[in-house]
Structure 1
Amino acid sequence: MAVTRSDLPPDASSSAPEAPPVATPVMARARRAVRGGALDFLRFLASLLIVLYHYGAESPLRIERFHQVFSRGFLATDFFLILSGYVLGRAYGASTLSGQISPGRFWVRRAARVWPGHLMVLAAMAALVLVLNTIGTDAHKPSRFAWDQLPVQALLVHAWGVPSDGWNLPSWSLSALIVCYAIFPFLWRAADRVRHAVVLPLAGLAVIIVFELIARFGFDHALADLQFQFGVVRALPLFILGVCLARAVEMDWPSEAAARVLLYGGAAVLIAWQLFDRYALPDVLWFDLPSLLAIGCIILGAGRLPVKRPRAWIEEGAKLSFALFITHIFVGVIYWSAVHKLIDTVPIGIGWQWLMWLAGFPLAYGGAWLFHTYVDQPVQDRLAPWLRR
């Protein structure tokens, strides 16, 4: 399956459900504030958009030819990275301040949440490539499966300056988030010292601008266009912004009326802004920063508003977003290898090709559900007692 610049994600990634092993009343209230409502719905929607951007390269005609918005998967990734910092702040902020969870234990728990699923999908992908090679049929885009890059991805260090351009490429964001998890307790303590809530989102925005300058002058790229191997540089400022937004909401800022304006206004600006050509502006910074600002407003507004009528299907969809993020490339390798082989063998009309392309999306969702239900969740259930010790 072809991979484009839209891989600058997750879910991913960062889309893993946030469930502290030990629930205190404060932590329970924090979880209720973010589950089954607007943020969960937006999380699931963003995961679907990432699949759309990745599978877009397999369409009969590249979908970005229809509209330039289909080449902007990095915006869904930005959303996930900011949301990851926000959700962790709401779920774990109080317990890290109280000392209930030490920084080391927090990192172990978060690593245990993402590493097993990542390793299982990577192992399945390696087995698939071995089988295809054994029977004499290469996986679609076989150049993506270099065996010397497999250990780097397995260790989740490929966003730490170590190049790796194949296999389950979206996992770069998990590699970057491992670093973010390690420093989260210290970030939250720093945010807790701020006494004026309005300062927090401004500070987060300032950090993004600083990292944008670092990317420009240190790596000669815009922050959103950094190579995957420098994913930590890209993810860290977005994660910090999410932490700042979470702390502001913990301080009951902004008001609910203002939060509604931020939510709906941010969504309107983000949608309208996509009408512009990113590269027609004098600098892509003029496109990227307003988009990030709009995403931050959406998360701040949705997070501040209480979830008065939580929806179970929304919460379940959000839980699947992590599985969808880390499995859709694997499902795509199987499906698109078969589809392209069929198209090369049998003449198929363009209409049927579009139908086969659309069929890839329910297959990706079904694969994510199977993985979450029968693989990832059972493994997490087995790990939970050990992590509580």
Structure 2
Amino acid sequence: MLTAAARPDSLAQLTSLRFCAALLVLLSHLVFLERSGSPVLRGLYDLFFRQGACGVTFFFILSGFILTHAYERALKEGRVSALTYYHRRVARIFPLHLMVGLAFLAYLAWRADLPPMPAVLLNLALLHSWSPDPLVHYSLNGPSWSLSDELFFYALFPWLVKWREPVLRAVFIAGMVLIVAGSCFTALRVAGYSPWVDWIFYVFPLTRLFEFIAGILLCRAWRSCIGRRWATSATEALAVISLPATMVAVEWFAVPLAFRYQLIFLPPMAVLILIFAHGQGALSHLLRQPGLQSLGEASFALYLIHRPMITFMERWSGAGAASDIALAIAMLPMAMLASILGFALLDRPVQHWLRRRKTFTVKRKAFAIRQ
């Protein structure tokens, strides 16, 4: 039997799922709905939209999965150097981050609403998630804190993939046990929202590292065809349905915040990625359609662009339920259009230019997806 990595399958369906995850994060940032005069809109935001932050868990797991798929063997066999790997990772996330961040900074300067300059500098350098101060780690373009975490994951990856499977699995289990214990202790001591708890369990790179490690282990499981026999159209549908069901359940049953940040959503996200990585069901076939692929390729731009757009547009919120609904509905096509243009006119040309600056020895795989 051919292993998963040897078959001429495509992981394109995971590219389309990236758009869905970015869309969830966008929904979580429609915070003007929480302030709406309509109890229905406030209830909808609290029950479902707020939990869209779980899209970050998807991105962290998928990042470990795809980097393992694309680089593990190349790094171990010396077909790509660590320097080349780091060059590609930095070139992947910094250009668009800096372009969006500086453009938004100019807008904030025009509004005379600039964040503290040390916070801005840490943000632009992608070091801000290490600060427990929310005015720092959520400074400028809020979602960029996750890129700060990703940069840390990228730095560790060449060492993590050299660890033997039992060692890496033991590290993952030990880390998750500590996080579960910490979440239980926090839930007993802290009743509501706390900036410190938010930082430790949602933003802090060391805490979120274990989702990235889960992605590494998941890729190795996929290569070994684990879960392939269950990757059917029915299980794909169940994997998709389980996510919104979990999102509603955590609010319905008042799950403590410390568990919502990643623990509750890690299992369904991991199952979702593994099932769709095998790509055997009807939904996988649908997700490989060119239109959805284009949206998936633009998902990084959507992730970075949407929050500044909401900040710009929410000045028109609060004029009534109809106004809030219209604004929320308008945000989706506007953010999608902006992300597609940002990807086509900024992100992709810059990526191509940066990749031409250096000769890479790693060969492209026909079924590798864009990172």
Q: Contact 1:172 / 1:229 at 8 angstroms: preserved in 2?
A: no
Match of 2:153 among 174, 180, 192: 180
Q: State how 1:290-305 maps to structure 2 within 5 Å.
A: 290-305=264-279
Counterparts of 1:294 and 1:182, CA distance in 2: 27
Q: CA deviation at 1:110?
A: 0.3
TM-superposed deviation, 1:113 = 0.7
User: Which residue of structure 1 aligns with residue 228 of structure 2?
Assistant: 255
Is the Cα–Cα contact under 8 Å of residues 259 and 302 in structure 1 kept in the other structure?
Answer: no
Paired position in structure 2 for 1:381: 352
CA contact (8 A) 1:160 1:232 kept: yes
1:278, CA displacement in angstroms? 4.7
Distance between the aligned counterparts of 1:282 and 1:57, measured in 2? 23
**Which residue of the partner structure matches residue 10 of structure 2?**
33
Distance 2:310 2:102 in 1: 16
* Higher relative contact order (Cα pairs below 8 Å, separated by 6+ residues): 2
Question: What SS does the aligned partner of 1:33 have?
Answer: coil
Task: Give the Cα separation in 1 of the matches to 2:357 and 2:131.
Answer: 32
Structure 1 runs not aligned, ≥5 long:
1-25, 134-141
Letter in 2 for 1:323: A
Per the TM alignment, residue 169 of structure 1 is displaced from its structure 2 partner at its CA by 1.2
Q: Report the Cα distance in structure 2 between the residues aligned to 1:202 and 1:274, rounded to whole angstroms.
A: 29
- Is the Cα–Cα contact under 8 Å of residues 264 and 298 in structure 1 kept in the other structure? no
User: Structure 1: how far apart are the matches of 2:257 and 2:294?
Assistant: 36
The structure-2 alpha-carbon separation of the partners of 1:301 and 1:260, relative to structure 1 and needing over 3 Å to count, comes to farther
SS at the partner of 1:156? coil
Task: Report the TM-score, using the length of structure 1 for normalisation.
Answer: 0.75
Of the three residues 125, 142, 147, the one matched with 1:155 is 125
> Match of 1:18?
none
Residues in 2 aligned to 1:81 and 1:158: alpha-carbon distance in whole angstroms: 17
**What do residues 306-336 of structure 1 show as CA deviations (whole Å, max 9, x unaligned)?**
5667322222111111000111122223222
- Residue 356 of structure 1: which of 303, 327, 331 is its match? 327
Counterpart residue number, 2:304: 326
Q: 1:285: how far off?
A: 6.7
**Superposition deviation, residue 237 in structure 1:** 0.7
SS in 2 for 1:252: coil
1:162 offset after TM fit, Å?
6.0
Distance of aligned partners of 1:27 and 1:117 in 2 relative to their CA distance in 1, 3 Å threshold: farther
* Greater mean deviation of Cα atoms: 281-290 or 82-91: 281-290
Distance 1:277 1:379 in 2: 41
Are the counterparts in 2 of residues 156 and 175 from structure 1 also a CA contact under 8 Å?
yes
The one-letter amino acid of 1:334's match is F
The question of whether the paired residues in 2 share the 8 Å contact of 1:224 and 1:234 is answered with: no
- Letter paired with 1:295: M
% identity of equivalent residues: 25
Matches of 1:262 and 1:243 in 2, distance apart? 22
Return closer, same or farther for 1:277/1:174 CA change in 2, 3 Å cut-off: closer
Q: How many Å apart are 1:99 and its aligned residue?
A: 1.4
State the superposition RMSD in angstroms.
3.6
Q: Which whole-Å CA distance do the structure 2 matches of 1:266 and 1:237 have between them?
A: 21
Q: Which amino acid aligns with 1:151?
A: L
The Cα shift of 1:261 comes to: 6.8
Partner of 1:22: none
Distance 2:6 2:197 in 1: 34
Which runs of structure 2 are paired with 1:219-230 in the superposition (5 Å)? Answer: 225-226=198-199, 230=203
Any conservation in 2 of the 1:260–1:302 contact (CA below 8 Å)? no
